[in-house]
Amino acid sequence: MKRISILALLLLVIKTINLNAQEAVTASSPYKFKTAKYNWYLSWGYNLDWYTKSDIHFSDSRRNGNYDFVIKDAKAEDRPGIRDIFSTDLAIPQYSFRIGFFGGAKRDWGFEINYDHAKYVMIDGQTVHMKGKFFGKEYDQDTIVGKPFLAFEHTNGANFAMFMATKRKNILHSGNGVHWLSLIGRAGGGFVFPRTDCTINGLRRDDQFHVAGYIIGIDGGIRYDFHHRIFFENEAKFSFVNYTSALLPYQGRAHHHFWAFEYIFTLGYNF
């Protein structure tokens, strides 16, 4: 009788394992809790950035202000700081944060809020064409920029805040449902929230975060989910960025727009 009970228990365990394996094979998404209406996630990582040239308009907004000029085709670069990740605050390098969810029968449509703390640095020592008024002098000539004459950067930072529609497409998963490889696509827009660091004619301003314009963009990437909870993602983002009112010294404002390309890698958690 004891042997029959043990055999029955063993058969029940084997049957349960087979049912679980079959469910994993036929599953349509990597998310374990199918009864939830949405599967939420959050992630954190870092980014590398490239920018096109831009014409930057600097203007002193006061009546009879000291300057009103444009520099043409200014070049800029990022300041990633990734090599210092383990020796500095995690928020100092160019980080990326996401929070979102997937819904639908296959958990393949969703919505995401993402924030990229990118940095935009106009390259010192470059030659640009400058045209307009600068402290009583009229310019229409090639000029070398740099401190203390003119320096301009969004290093605390360029700060892209976006609201994105998302789509996941499963391309491969293991038979036991532990490993999932998916394509991820996003599209949306939002606002830029910089703290601009600018020096004009020896006076520096770097003091206030504020909404200074808008951003629209798309991105695509590959996502690897492991054991339903943990995932890694690599993505490429292409955006149009327009700063309509960045703060400057002497109560000034700057306006410029450019295209940005980002490479982003993140580690995330499904819950």
Contact criterion met (CB below 8 Å) for 45 and 266: yes
Query: What residue ranges in 61-212 does DSSP mark as E strands?
Result: 67-74, 76-77, 95-103, 109-116, 120-122, 127-134, 137-144, 150-154, 160-173, 179-192, 196-200, 203-205
User: What is the C-alpha separation between 146 and 59, in angstroms, rounded?
Assistant: 18
Pairing between β-strand 150-154 and β-strand 196-200 as defined by DSSP bridges? antiparallel
Arithmetic mean of pLDDT, 29-55: 88
When mean pLDDT is compared across 9-13, 113-117, 248-252, the lowest value belongs to 9-13
Arithmetic mean of pLDDT, 140-157: 97
pLDDT band at 268 (very low <50, low <70, confident <90, very high): very high
Which 8-state DSSP code applies to residue 143?
Answer: E
The tally of CA atoms less than 13 A away on the side-chain side of residue 202 is: 2
Q: CA dist 241 to 45, 60, 84, 159, 256, Å? A: 21, 22, 27, 11, 9
Q: CA dist 163 to 99, 160, 188, 203, Å? A: 10, 10, 6, 36
**Mean pLDDT value across the chain:** 89
Arithmetic mean of pLDDT, 210-230: 96
pLDDT score, position 115: 98
pLDDT score, position 33: 61
Contact criterion met (CB below 8 Å) for 180 and 25: no
pLDDT score, position 86: 62
**pLDDT above 90 as % of the chain:** 75
**Per-residue pLDDT tens for 77-104?**
999 987 666 666 767 799 999 999 999 8
Please name the residues in contact with 8: beta carbons below 8 A apart, sequence gap of 6 or more: none
- Please write down the HEC assignment for all residues of 167-199: EEEEEEECCCCCEEEEEEEEEEEEEECCCEEEE
When mean pLDDT is compared across 80-89, 175-184, 186-195, the lowest value belongs to 80-89
Whether 146 shows a pLDDT value over 90: the answer reads yes
Cβ neighbours around 53 below 10 Å, total: 14
